[in-house]
Amino acid sequence: MAIVSIPSSFPTITHSSFHLPKRKRFSGMAFANLSSETSLGVKVTEGNGKLPKVVLSSVDGSEAEIYLFGDCVTSWKVANGKDLLFVRPDAIFDGKKPISGGIPHCFPQFGPGAIQQHGFARNMNWSIADSESVEGNPIITLELKDDPYSRSMWDFSFKALYKVILNANSLSTVLTVTNTDNRPFSFSSALHTYFRASITGVSVKGLNGCKTLNKDPDPKNPLESIENRDAITFPGFVDCVYLDAPNDIQLENGLGDVISIRNQNWSDAVLWNPNKTMEQCYRDFVCVENAQIQEVQLEPKQTWTSEQHLRLSALVEVE
């Protein structure tokens, strides 16, 4: 096996770089042809359980898949075909239960609380608002608005836009939440990202010095502490929140890959591996999540935006 270094420079992505000419616009879930290409490298097709999904393909050979149900990114493959995300073997694609794996949304609630676990955004159909291709790199924007289902739990009017940008060695997302109600509302959120891994070899760096809320052993009464490790490993069950986390974390996935997890305006991070409580697959993934634990309050017409940039820094190729 040979370790291949990827150039360390991370493309600077700013909000202004996303305001590009639009190629085509789509709304709603009606697709007469589930093999349609909306823009170069952006194709709508049929996925598991006959659910609509979008396949992004870059000119460099990388690929990503996004299910419109839950707006869940379920696959991110780099040019050599290696998938860096993980979908659990118990995942159900029935349009009723949230998809277990990939990058599920937690909105407007992270974790347990007044409404259903992790909110409703991962359990609703999103629509395609826009798609385009820039220099061979596909970009898609999906949209979610309130409906009777969301209002039965959280009685506010809102609009969420989720932009996904695929490049040769990176996958970036931009989440924008707008208060379209005439009253203020508050929410918490997270991207519950499942990375493919060999858990005995996983380490996460960049969180030394953060205040922690450790949910092991009692998730209802997390232990407060300060992280003092340079490299966090996963010898057993891990469910820990890192408050005021830095905007750059490094994941070594135990399979030879190093992934940079950068963010803008996600205030916290969460590490999770269920260990033997999920005997079937815990060895094969780790969750490293960007999160907003403290609730954000938005006044009418205000917006909140956060970005996540995943980049492959190094990988192992089998010779």
**Phi/psi at 123 (nearest 5 deg)?**
-125, 25
> What type of residue sits at position 219?
P
C-alpha 209: how far from its chain's center?
25
| Annotated active-site residue in 63, 289, 307, 309 | 289
| Cα(178)–Cα(184) distance, integer angstroms | 11
| Cα(91)–Cα(157) distance, integer angstroms | 30
289 is catalytic: yes
| Cα(167)–Cα(59) distance, integer angstroms | 9
DSSP letter for each residue of 11-69: PP--GGGG-----B---SS--S-TTEEEETTEEEEE-GGG-EEEEEE-TTS-EEEEETB
| Cα(264)–Cα(14) distance, integer angstroms | 10
| Cα(317)–Cα(79) distance, integer angstroms | 11
Classify 49 as helix, strand or coil.
helix
| Annotated active-site residue in 192, 252, 307, 309 | 192
C-alpha 305: how far from its chain's center?
14
65 is catalytic: no
C-alpha 74: how far from its chain's center?
9
Please name the residues in contact with 279: beta carbons below 8 A apart, sequence gap of 6 or more: none
Catalytic residues: 192, 289
